[in-house]
């Protein structure tokens, strides 16, 4: 059978599409009491007074979530947003592009360094090299996780994400959080190992070794805190539908504490370099820095 362009078929599909238009009949019954006085019929209805996306969410979410189950509330938000013509916010493509570009650029830079080293063009291979290679591999896990989370809908409004993708987003995010924290730890370890390579002052080397141990302890502790923040662990990606039992530590507390300790470690790492250079400037003037 030959398949040809059929104008009448296209017309039928268009008409069918128009007939399948979303109406207030698609709203879950539990949500109907949330509209004052009636559910919206079209985008000029008085119940659609809140057109700006922020207002849309703050207007309807609290009532939907208290009157309905999570899934029904999301459906009610989806249907209302369509009837009221609320713009579809979606930055997930931008997120994916950013992740890919950042990963390619950083991998190229580190790749160049590793090739120079392994061809013996830039000094011996040491712990600073091994740890930066591990950092790249671990960070790749974070990048893949972020990419997949965006692929499944991170960066969109929650009510625009199909139910079957919600837990996939959380799973991808869960995997990327561990990669991020460990990658961060390995990058700083690499810099500190580099200090051990170039500085010979023994007192200073002990300070650097102490910093490496603190850095590894913090990195591992927070990675574990992240991984076991929910009981059971699967509650991290099952919590969203309100149908599972479990509990989680406050993720923002973990994130804040980790960020503050990271900033302190970064300041200490930079300060060590500044102090050593100020302490003995001549010595490092002709040092090879790669």
Ligand X SMILES: *[C@@H]1O[C@H](CO)[C@@H](O)[C@H](O)[C@H]1NC(C)=O
Which of 6, 33, 42, 287 touches ligand X by CB under 6 A? 42
List CB contacts of 152: < 8 A, sequence separation 6 or more.
161, 165, 168, 169, 172
List CB contacts of 258: < 8 A, sequence separation 6 or more.
181, 218, 222
Residue 202 found at the interface with ligand X (CB under 6 A)? no
Which of 2, 44, 120, 285 touches ligand X by CB under 6 A? 44
Of 128-136, 154-162, 177-185, 266-274, the segment contacting ligand X by CB under 6 A is 154-162
Phi then psi dihedrals of residue 90, to 5 deg:
-155, 105
C-alpha Rg value of the chain to the nearest Å: 27
Residue nearer to ligand X on the CB measure, 29 or 246:
29
Of 102-110, 158-166, 196-204, 209-217, the segment contacting ligand X by CB under 6 A is 158-166
Which of 29, 94, 111, 162 touches ligand X by CB under 6 A? 162
Q: How far apart are CA 269 and CA 272, in angstroms?
A: 5
Residue 21 found at the interface with ligand X (CB under 6 A)? no
Residue nearer to ligand X on the CB measure, 61 or 107:
61
Residue 229 found at the interface with ligand X (CB under 6 A)? no
Footprint of ligand X on 62-101 (CB under 6 A): 75, 78-79, 82
Q: How far apart are CA 251 and CA 204, in angstroms?
A: 36
Local structure of 66: helix, strand or coil: helix
Size of the site for ligand X (CB under 6 A): 13
Q: How far apart are CA 270 and CA 261, in angstroms?
A: 14
> Token match 């057109």: residue?
51
Contacts with ligand X, residue ranges (CB under 6 A): 22, 26, 41-42, 44-45, 75, 78-79, 82, 160-162
């Amino acid at each position: 059978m030959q398949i040809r362009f059929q104008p009448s078929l296209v017309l039928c599909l268009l008409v069918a599409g128009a007939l399948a238009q979303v109406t207030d009949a698609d709203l879950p019954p539990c949500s109907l009491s949330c509209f004052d006085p009636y559910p919206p019929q079209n985008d000029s209805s008085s119940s659609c007074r809140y057109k700006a996306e922020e207002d849309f969410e703050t207007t309807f979410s609290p009532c939907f979530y208290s009157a309905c189950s999570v899934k029904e509330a999301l459906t009610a938000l989806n249907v209302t947003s369509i009837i009221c013509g609320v713009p579809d916010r979606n930055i997930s493509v931008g997120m994916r592009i950013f992740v890919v570009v950042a990963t390619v650029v950083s991998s190229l830079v580190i790749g160049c360094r590793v090739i120079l080293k392994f061809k013996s063009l830039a000094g011996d291979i040491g712990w600073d090299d091994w740890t930066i290679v591990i950092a790249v591999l671990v960070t790749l896990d974070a990048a893949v996780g972020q990419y997949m989370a965006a692929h499944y809908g991170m960066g969109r409004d929650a009510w625009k994400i199909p139910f079957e993708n919600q837990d996939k987003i959380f799973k991808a995010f869960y995997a990327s959080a561990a990669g991020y924290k460990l990658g961060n730890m390995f990058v700083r370890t690499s810099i500190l190992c580099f200090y051990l390579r170039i500085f010979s002052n023994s007192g200073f080397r002990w300070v650097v070794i102490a910093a490496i141990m603190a850095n590894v302890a913090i990195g591992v502790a927070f990675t574990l805190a992240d991984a076991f923040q929910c009981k059971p662990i699967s509650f991290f990606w099952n919590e969203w539908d309100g149908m599972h039992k479990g509990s989680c530590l406050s993720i923002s507390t973990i994130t804040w504490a980790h960020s503050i300790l990271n900033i302190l470690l970064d300041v200490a790492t930079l300060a060590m370099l500044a102090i050593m250079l100020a302490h003995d400037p001549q010595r490092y003037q002709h040092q090879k820095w790669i």
